[in-house]
Structure 1
Amino acid sequence: MVLSLAMTLGLVAGCGAKTTTQPAASEKPYAGTQLRVVFANHPWADAIKAQLPEFEEKTGIKVNLENFFEDQLTTKLTVELTSGTTTIDAMMFRPLQEGKLFAKNGWLNDLTATSQKDKTWDISDFNKGAIGTVTMDNKLYGVPIVTEREILYYRKDILEKNNIAVPKTLDDLLAAAKKINDPSNKLYGFVARGKLSPSVTQFSSFLYSMGGDFAKDGKATVNTPEAIKAYQTYGDLQRLYGPPGTLNMAWPEAFAVFQQGQAAFLTDADSLYTNLTDPKKSTVSDKVGFALFPAGTAGSKPYNITSWALAQNAKSKNQDATWEFIKWATSQEQVLKMQQAGNPGARESVWNNPEGLKNFPAEYASTVKESMKTSVDHDRPLVISIGPARDAVGGPIQAAIQGKDVKAAADIANAAFQVILDKEK
């Protein structure tokens, strides 16, 4: 009876007491976790490294960084991921260079569901073209960190002197290059990459703008009328109005011609613009203009790609903590900081924020924003054997520059590329 009375009194007393709330979840649920993060030697990596103490203080997560040159990074990742390593947590990778290989081998974690859960992080804020580059088989295998597009660089003073408007179409570009071309005074109408493999990426915008692509539904399409017209246009610009030696030019050689004041037009990646605007590198740094890639028969369709992305190792033992790191590094706040440091990001909110544009030339910023609207999410064939594929589809570029039979070269390229596509099936 005494025990029953005590229990009853206890229950009555409990009814008048305040309910005790459960302790809040830890604000640092991953404190003490150590992440191994493998980066490329890249300006973005340098910029984010400077922000790491903030992340570590906020989360209690320790980030152990390793940096490698690009090709060393690819080799390092390939070797370790092949062995099934669990020690790599996050990594920088080039989606169009090794992304398909990494994804097909099951080395990259599918981030589709994870990325859609966090509404505050907001994946819908990322540019469609940039997301397309890191999406394979409708699955998201990376988050964009550095983007680039092909644009038209031009000499403002030369166009003004010759009363020439900025070309809006490829036909306009051909006409303007012809009018300006003056080899006797070492002034050329146009310069671009002509070397076999490097030229493919910059040729791609010509291909898309003419209504073509490298392949469709598993079939090579580099000998279609649209492709042949694109090859011919790219080749004519260099053969008729370009400097000597274009067949051996990658981007450094092509940019050097423009830097030295010897070319009126250049089409190449917008991410390289400081090579032309830096007075220490360029003799025409104050005379450089930026414009949307000229339209072909299908309109202006420059590539707009993710050149570098962040990914999770599918076998990492720290999946949740790794996602916290990737989410932080690609947050709106960090993308703004990275872009202010000169690394073009993928968040449209940052491109629409004056603070995200203030360190870019105004004409450059407006050109990039416009380029994002009609762009294509790849700048090369979408295959694992990217080296042989680029060599194959690059053949007609060199044929066009040399004035050879472009259709014949395109037929050969198409057959060679189809062999690669069939093998990968």
Structure 2
Amino acid sequence: MPIPNSCRIAGLALMLATLASAALAQVCKEDVRVLSQPREGLTLLEKSRDEFKRLSGASFTVDNLNENDRRAKSRADASTVGKYHVYYVDEANVAQFVQSKWIVPLTPYYPAGYDYADFDAGRQKVATFAGQTWFAPLTGGGDLMVYRKDLLEKAGIKPPATLDEFVAAVKKLNDPANGVYGVALRGQRGSGANVWRWMPFFRGYGGQWFDGDKPVFNSPAAVKATQTYLDLFKYSAPGTKTGGWDESTGAFLAGKVAILVESTPLAGNALDPKMSTVVGKIAYAVPPAPLTGGGYGHGLAIGARANRTEEAKKCAGLFIAWATSKENEQRRLAEGQFGELNRTSVLGSPEFAKRYGADLGKALADTGKVTAVNFWQDPAWPDLGDRWGIILEELITGSRTDIQAGLDELDAYAKQLIARRKK
């Protein structure tokens, strides 16, 4: 009996699918070893381990360490034995990993079908250094202006679109007698604390860190940014002059703050009734112009030492693409892992809107357009940033009063850093 054409076609399709599957199975010759720090999204991947094995022909293992230990071990491993195929990197250390040649560019090994362009624009900026992309985001964000719409409506204030309007609104909304403060800032020293919140003012006023190897940050723009930041502390919630993220966002979640500009994870926290007393009372917008959003990002990069062959690099790239794929982001969305959502297709999806509201999705998309890399992209950044954090905290608390002198002192320190590097 002749075999029908439809069966032949079906058989051919099955054969081609089998061959394609076999070809995919050859991508990875050994299990992918990942050095990371604890992330809910990576833990969730464990449930889909068989999916990656079918896709690549191998499995994966993830070793988790706390942030500081992860940074130390990844530096040690990347510079010596190279045990790990994939490193978890962040905005503070990607420059060091690139300049030390511990990781390789991601784009050549990130399969096109996984659509890297779908990641939020701000996260893409942070993952870019020296004109190339180095990691795929697992978490990150920029800044949002988060405000109490009930308080603004009662005071007859429109959501401020400019910094001048923002300052005016903060002053008008400040009502300590009734337990409400106009704003919440960060005064605690540190490149990721008070300096992080100060930098949007600095960059918004046109400040730059360096011109080549020459420090240029003790400029009129830096003085203006610092003075504006100090003036706003007159209306900042108690405990924030020496406080960081926890104190600033905690005051807002407790209903003590009218308006603030903070990193995007606050938005998810503010919608969680277990953490927030202001559920249903808040709204979001982009930071008031000319403030830039403080872009940050953590993600997965391809190790150079453990992936000496092109085949190995393709395997690591496939794991990274799969781990950060649209499908895995949808799984994180279903689990309520707000802080690990990075893709515009997910942030703009009906599922996201149902869980978090369409207005938040739009605000996140809009803020991605103004998100910038505000810090100095250099291995010495944490050293320089932390030194400025000490000076800035002293200015905020009043133990130091001369802004220009503080910036000049930082300028001298930066010149020492550059001189040491040239030796």
Q: What TM-score does the superposition give when structure 2 sets the normalisation length?
A: 0.85
Is 1:316 equivalent to 2:310 in the alignment? Answer: no
Aligned partners of 2:125, 2:371: CA distance in 1, in Å? Answer: 11
Is 1:398 equivalent to 2:393 in the alignment? Answer: yes
Aligned partners of 1:389, 1:31: CA distance in 2, in Å? Answer: 41
Backbone CA RMSD of aligned residues: 2.6
Question: Offset of 1:148 from its aligned partner?
Answer: 0.6
- 1:245 corresponds in structure 2 to 239
Aligned partners of 2:93, 2:171: CA distance in 1, in Å? Answer: 39
Distance verdict in 2 for CA 1:76–1:195, change over 3 Å: same
Aligned partners of 2:409, 2:388: CA distance in 1, in Å? Answer: 9
Aligned amino acid, residue 253 of structure 1:
E
Question: Offset of 1:356 from its aligned partner?
Answer: 4.8
Distance verdict in 2 for CA 1:132–1:218, change over 3 Å: farther
Q: Is the 8 A contact 1:149 1:271 kept in 2?
A: no
Question: Offset of 1:345 from its aligned partner?
Answer: 4.0
Aligned partners of 1:227, 1:50: CA distance in 2, in Å? Answer: 49
Q: Is the 8 A contact 1:383 1:421 kept in 2?
A: no
Larger Rg: 1
Question: Offset of 1:178 from its aligned partner?
Answer: 0.9
Distance verdict in 2 for CA 1:356–1:33, change over 3 Å: farther
Determine which of 28, 45, 50 is the counterpart of 2:42.
Answer: 45
- 2:202 corresponds in structure 1 to 207
- 2:130 corresponds in structure 1 to 137
Aligned partners of 2:79, 2:39: CA distance in 1, in Å? Answer: 24
Q: Which runs of 5+ in 2 are unaligned?
A: 1-14
Aligned amino acid, residue 409 of structure 1:
G
Aligned partners of 1:120, 1:30: CA distance in 2, in Å? Answer: 16
Q: Is the 8 A contact 1:342 1:359 kept in 2?
A: no
Is 1:266 equivalent to 2:257 in the alignment? Answer: no
Deviations 1:320-342 (A, max 9, x none): 32222112122333334334532
Question: Offset of 1:270 from its aligned partner?
Answer: 0.5
Q: Is the 8 A contact 1:210 1:230 kept in 2?
A: yes
Aligned amino acid, residue 306 of structure 2:
S
Aligned amino acid, residue 303 of structure 1:
G
Matches within 5 A, 1:330-409: 330-340=324-334, 341-376=337-372, 378-395=373-390, 397-402=392-397, 404-409=401-406
- 1:325 corresponds in structure 2 to 319
Is 1:186 equivalent to 2:179 in the alignment? Answer: yes
Matches within 5 A, 1:66-105: 66-85=63-82, 87-94=83-90, 96-105=91-100
Matches within 5 A, 1:7-86: 24=19, 26-27=22-23, 28-30=25-27, 33-85=30-82
Aligned amino acid, residue 105 of structure 1:
S
Question: Offset of 1:369 from its aligned partner?
Answer: 0.5
Deviations 1:10-55 (A, max 9, x none): xxxxxxxxxxx99946241146621212221122222333333321
SS at match of 1:201: helix
Question: Offset of 1:352 from its aligned partner?
Answer: 4.1
- 1:304 corresponds in structure 2 to 295
Question: Offset of 1:400 from its aligned partner?
Answer: 4.6
Aligned partners of 1:222, 1:332: CA distance in 2, in Å? Answer: 40
Aligned partners of 1:43, 1:79: CA distance in 2, in Å? Answer: 25
- 2:214 corresponds in structure 1 to 219
Question: Offset of 1:237 from its aligned partner?
Answer: 0.8
Q: Is the 8 A contact 1:91 1:310 kept in 2?
A: yes
Distance verdict in 2 for CA 1:214–1:393, change over 3 Å: farther
Aligned partners of 2:47, 2:227: CA distance in 1, in Å? Answer: 47
Aligned amino acid, residue 228 of structure 2:
T
Aligned amino acid, residue 194 of structure 1:
G
Matches within 5 A, 1:153-164: 153-164=146-157
Q: What count of residue pairs does the alignment treat as equivalent?
A: 395
Aligned partners of 2:352, 2:45: CA distance in 1, in Å? Answer: 16
Question: Offset of 1:190 from its aligned partner?
Answer: 0.9
Aligned partners of 2:102, 2:26: CA distance in 1, in Å? Answer: 26
SS at match of 1:66: strand
Aligned partners of 1:277, 1:331: CA distance in 2, in Å? Answer: 25
Determine which of 230, 236, 244 is the counterpart of 1:235.
Answer: 230
Aligned amino acid, residue 281 of structure 1:
M
Is 1:165 equivalent to 2:158 in the alignment? Answer: yes
SS at match of 2:93: helix
Deviations 1:345-401 (A, max 9, x none): 44334444434544323322111111112221x242222123321123335533553
Determine which of 269, 272, 286 is the counterpart of 1:292.
Answer: 286
Q: What TM-score does the superposition give when structure 1 sets the normalisation length?
A: 0.84
Distance verdict in 2 for CA 1:392–1:149, change over 3 Å: same
Question: Offset of 1:293 from its aligned partner?
Answer: 0.5
Aligned amino acid, residue 209 of structure 1:
G
Aligned partners of 2:320, 2:298: CA distance in 1, in Å? Answer: 13
